Amino acid sequence: MREVDKIIIHCSATKEGQEFFADDIRKWHKARGFSDIGYHFVVNLDGVIEYGRDLSRRGAHCKGHNDGSIGICYVGGLNKEGEPMDTRTTEQEDSLLMLVSTLKRLHCGAEVYSHSDFSNKACPSFDATTEYRWA
């Protein structure tokens, strides 16, 4: 198993209520030249957690921080006008908390971060660093 010290939360930067799946994001990433989807997990609008990139593989989700990290993406992150907004459904909130808590138990000492902690982006459109500090 890879050494993991960071769990980085992302959004898909898609509009509120628009359903996309891990396979859609995989296609987008492959079109950009990635070998596979960059995230390890995708959380759909209904809270279903899909596997993305295998956990044994280095992610491709946060430049300069892919080694030693796990990338989680929730579908959404933009309001209907395309502006950054926390669009998580209740189901996504529940699934994200459960997933983050589980990963933190499996990877003792791993800290949770928002993508925006490492990049000048609004992603994930909420403060995951603070929200999941005690997860």
CATH code of 50's domain: 3.40.80.10
Q: What is the mean pLDDT of residues 4-22?
A: 98
Torsion angles phi and psi, residue 71, rounded to 5? -105, 130
Give the range of the structural domain holding residue 48, as residue numbers without chain letter: 6-131
Q: Is 107 among the residues known to form the active site?
A: no
Residue 2's pLDDT is: 85
In a domain, 31, yes or no: yes
In a domain, 104, yes or no: yes
* List 39, 74, 113, 132, catalytic entry: 39
* List 6, 10, 29, 107, catalytic entry: 10
Q: Is 104 among the residues known to form the active site?
A: no
pTM for this predicted structure: 0.97
In a domain, 122, yes or no: yes
In a domain, 20, yes or no: yes
Overall domain count for the chain: 1
Q: What is the mean pLDDT of residues 47-65?
A: 97
- Strands ordered across the beta sheet of 6-11: 49-51, 41-43, 69-74, 6-11, 111-114
Q: Is 132 among the residues known to form the active site?
A: no
Q: If pLDDT is split at 50, 70 and 90, which confidence band does 1 have?
A: low
In a domain, 1, yes or no: no
* List 6, 104, 107, 115, catalytic entry: 115
Q: What is the percent of the chain with per-residue pLDDT over 90, rounded to a whole number?
A: 97
Over residues 70-123, the pLDDT tens digits come to: 999 999 999 999 999 999 999 999 999 999 999 999 999 999 999 999 999 999
Q: Is 39 among the residues known to form the active site?
A: yes
Please provide the size of the chain in residues: 135
Helix (H, G, I), strand (E, B) or coil at 13: coil
Q: What is the mean pLDDT of residues 28-37?
A: 96
* List 40, 62, 123, 132, catalytic entry: 123
Average pLDDT, the chain: 97
